[in-house]
Amino acid sequence: MMIKGAVEFSHHCLSKVIQPGDTVVDATAGNGHDTLFLAKLVGKSGRVYGFDIQEEAIKNTEKRLADDGENEQVTLICRSHHELKNVIPGDSDIKAAVFNLGYLPKGDKKIVTRPETTIEALQSLQERLHTDGLIVLVVYPGHPEGKIEADALLDYAKQLDQKHWQVLKYEIMNQMNNPPFLIAIERNQGARNKAG
């Protein structure tokens, strides 16, 4: 199919931007699918910082990476992504980041991402994003907290200054039951200002 789902499209976008040796962030490691994808793109000379608030998710991600021999270039952190500014070295130039929001598949559905911490993490990433760097968010409006988070993120993304940021919403229009959609935020060439 030419038209991809939101997760597949997020990988397509990331693969266009990330080069071997880059520093990137998986803000929601979960079961490690996105972390593994990033680890392969940056290779052994790059660095992936993967965050999750659940031990179970960190363990699942660790195992997935080890099974594929891709753990060397990954630092996993069992903390909320909004703390990333205290964790990632200050001089790191971040090329790309991915958020795959909501709850851990097959995990506790009460533990979900929240708009306040998601937006705080997003702002920290924007401040340190490389020129032409990219942040992608896969957003799930199909559960009640997810709808609140989706609305907050759309409001946030829409007000970003077009002088510095190019913002895309990508969604399949005819799928039932509020399918996930993607928000992509790209730093304009040469713009290296604070978020906003």
Binding residues (CB under 6 A) for ligand SAM: these are 28-34, 51-54, 57, 80-81, 100, 102-104, 111, 113, 117
User: CA 40 to CA 14: how far, in whole Å?
Assistant: 12
Nearer to ligand SAM, 54 or 166 (CB): 54
For residues 176 and 42, give the distance between their C-alpha atoms in angstroms, rounded to a whole number: 36
State the minimum distance, in angstroms, from the CB of residue 146 to ligand SAM: 10
Residue with the CB atom nearest ligand SAM in the bound state:
30
- Nearer Cβ to ligand SAM (75/131): 75
SS3 label, residue 185:
strand
The alpha carbon dihedral of 160, 165, 126, 35 has a sign of: positive
Q: How far is the CB of 192 from ligand SAM (least distance, A)?
A: 26
Least distance between ligand SAM and beta carbon 60 (Å): 8
Q: What are phi and psi of 135, to 5 degrees?
A: -120, 130
Q: How far is the CB of 157 from ligand SAM (least distance, A)?
A: 18
The size of the chain, in residues, is 196
Contacts of 190 (CB under 8 A, 6+ apart): 131
Chain-centroid distance of CA 116 in Å reads 15
One-letter amino acid at 71 equals: N
Q: Which is nearer to ligand SAM, 71 or 113 (CB)?
A: 113
Residue 112 or 160 with smaller CB distance to ligand SAM: 112
**Nearest residue (CB) to ligand SAM, 114 versus 130:** 114
Residue 79 tokens read as 């903390």
Nearer to ligand SAM, 83 or 132 (CB): 83
* DSSP 3-state of 149: helix
Tokens of 153: 């993120």
Query: What's the min distance (Å) between Cβ of 70 and ligand SAM?
Result: 13
* CB 125, min distance to ligand SAM, A: 13
